[in-house]
Amino acid sequence: MSGSRRGFFRDLAAAVASAKDAVEPEPEPEVVVHDLTEPEIERYSRQLVLPEWGSAAQVALGEASVLVIGAGALGAPVALYLAGAGVGRIGIVDDDDVELSNLHRQLLHYTPDLGVAKAESAAAKLRFLNPDVVVEPYQMRVDAENAPALVEGQDLVVDCSDSFATRYAVNAACCAARVKLVEAGVLGMAGMVMSIKPGRSACYRCAFPVAPRDAPRCADAGVLGPAAGVVGSLQAMEAMKLLTGVAPAIADGFLQVDLAGAEFLRVKVSRRADCPDCSGV
């Protein structure tokens, strides 16, 4: 650790301390600097100064491997925020190409990307945003057969898919491998977000044992871009909480988001003893 790096970090801590002093005098917090380079300290300075965050959380994020399933409306904010925050390795899975009808809500893809594989288009933007992040595009569709291999070895999976079949396949694979998972869905002006710690909290199938019949699809029912942005941002927030432990995740339940009425509702869910996905975990 060079003197200038220490100096920079000390300045950040001093800024926090002086803000606190305005209310009441407190001793300067002890700053523990782990293995962060000078550019990393500058790039992540606005999250490093957060009292709940600090260098330990930053290092944890940098060592994490996260799989983002879907590079669409939810996957865009999730992948952008996780890459920006400094997750070490991000896998992006999507088998679609960029279409004109995607662009109003899928902010990783731009008009010149039409026809390009979404996984590749997403990876290119994420590398521009943060070259220190290892981004791995997978041009494939996740199903029950390949989900276990994709999930294996990940620290966290963020499911940004748009089908119940994929969500159940991902939930089962994450439960079996005991990999933490953030699930979500969005439609119209509403959505939901749920964090799952296999073996410790209710899983997606505990909450939704069967898929609803004739569930409307995005192409039929529509979706507003900002609604997907809010739900995807909530997913990214959950991911960062699960990876670092800086705040409690939305576990043993889900957050229901109604953006038409501007209402958030926490719904509690208990683990089911007969859950086919998580009861044996």
Alpha carbon of 228 to those of 43, 233, 253: distances in Å? 27, 8, 20
The amino acid at 114 = L
- In 188-252, beta strands by DSSP E: 190-196
The amino acid at 23 = V
In 3D space, the residue among 199, 67, 198, 55 whose CA is nearest the CA of residue 142 turns out to be 67
Q: Least distance to Zn ion from the beta carbon of 194, Å?
A: 11
Instruction: Please report whether residue 181 would count as binding Zn ion according to CB under 5 A.
Output: no
Mark whether 218 is an active-site residue: yes
H-run or E-run covering 120: helix 118-129
Q: Give the residue with the Cβ less far from Zn ion, 183 or 277.
A: 277
Among 36, 203, 243, 255, interactor with Zn ion by CB under 5 A:
203
Stretch of residues binding Zn ion (CB under 5 A), selected from 16-24, 152-160, 200-208, 229-237? 200-208
Q: Give the residue with the Cβ less far from Zn ion, 59 or 251.
A: 251
Q: Which of residues 247-276 bind Zn ion (CB under 5 A)?
A: 275
Instruction: Please report whether residue 278 would count as binding Zn ion according to CB under 5 A.
Output: yes
H-run or E-run covering 263: strand 263-268
The catalytically annotated residue of 160, 175, 203, 218 is: 218
Structure tokens at 221: 């029912």
- Rounded-to-integer distance, Cα 271 and Cα 157, Å: 20
Instruction: Please report whether residue 234 would count as binding Zn ion according to CB under 5 A.
Output: no
Q: Give the residue with the Cβ less far from Zn ion, 175 or 240.
A: 175
Q: Give the residue with the Cβ less far from Zn ion, 210 or 219.
A: 210
- What are the catalytic residues? 218
* Interface residue list for Zn ion (CB under 5 A): 203, 205-206, 275, 277-278
